[in-house]
Amino acid sequence: MAEPTNPVPPRAPPRALPGDGTVESLPKTQEVAIPLGRGEIRGDLALPLGFLGTVVFAHGSGSSRKSPRNRWVAAELQTSGIATLLFDLLTPQEEQRDLVTGEYRFDIPLLSGRLLGVIDWVAQWGDTRGTPVGLYGASTGGAAALIAAASRPDSVRAVVLRGARSDLVGTRVRDVLSPTLLLVGGRDPEIRRLNEATYRELVGPKKIIVIPGATHLFEEPGALEEVSRRAREWFLTFLPVHKPA
């Protein structure tokens, strides 16, 4: 399902970052170019002061790194001391072709391959090298996130899915060992059914939460706030590497 770009409601003022002591601590944000074979894809990387890890976002079909819903959740994570990377799963040329043909938006092997490349880039790039990685996937991006988690069990420490097309993962879902949170809308019956089936197949730590009254895009009042809160709690629980005292 395509995700429109209509704006979401204004966010509340940011909270203090862990150990920072100030309220208006804005992350260092930069556009990055991620190598992709003969070309590259673009991303927006936000690095809060003393961040705990990096969450990579995989957007849904027909969307991009500018997805207002993903950016809303990313801002919530940033104010909690988590770095975020939102990137375009498709190149500009592919996006233009996909608008006409729709041939890439459900190409899960392609999308998950792109996501794997980004995970590997995060593991090697400058400020994020060696830091814990989490994945946040929406719609078809959720399918890509599950396959990427299955393919990088030693790298991906936590996964959050919003309205994921988890039916597109196939048997690879049984290879996902990362703690996985599935968020679905109470008024999105087909996606709820698919996610409940996926939940039963997952073998690692897992949880499924149905957000009452929410449809597929979580446009209802309070729905996206609940998604952000749940995602934040999940990543703060499973993302950091807790060293023994």
pLDDT confidence of residue 23: 37
**Beta carbons within 8 Å of 99's beta carbon, 6+ residues apart:** none
pLDDT value for 149: 97
Q: Which helix (H) or strand (E) holds 158?
A: strand 156-162
- pLDDT computed for residue 15 by the predictor: 38
Query: pTM of whole model > 0.95?
Result: no
pLDDT for 167 equals 94
Residue 75 has a pLDDT of 93
Residue 134, SS3 per DSSP: strand
At the second CATH level, the architecture of 28-238 is: 3-Layer(aba) Sandwich (3.40)
Provide the residue type at 127 as one letter.
Answer: D
Among 109, 38, 80, which residue's Cα sits nearest to residue 239? Answer: 80
Q: What is the pLDDT of residue 27?
A: 78
Nearest-CA neighbor of 41 among 98, 117, 139?
117
Residue ranges in the chain assigned as alpha helix (H):
68-78, 92-101, 108-124, 140-151, 189-201, 223-238
Phi-psi category of 36—alpha, beta or left, where left has phi over 0 and alpha has psi -120 to 50? beta
Going from the first residue of the chain to its last (245 residues), give the mean pLDDT of each consecutive group of 10, the final group possibly shorter. 44 38 61 85 92 92 77 93 92 82 86 94 91 95 96 96 95 96 97 97 97 93 95 95 46
The ranges assigned to domains in the chain are 28-238
From its phi and psi, is residue 64 left (phi > 0), alpha (psi between -120 and 50) or beta? beta
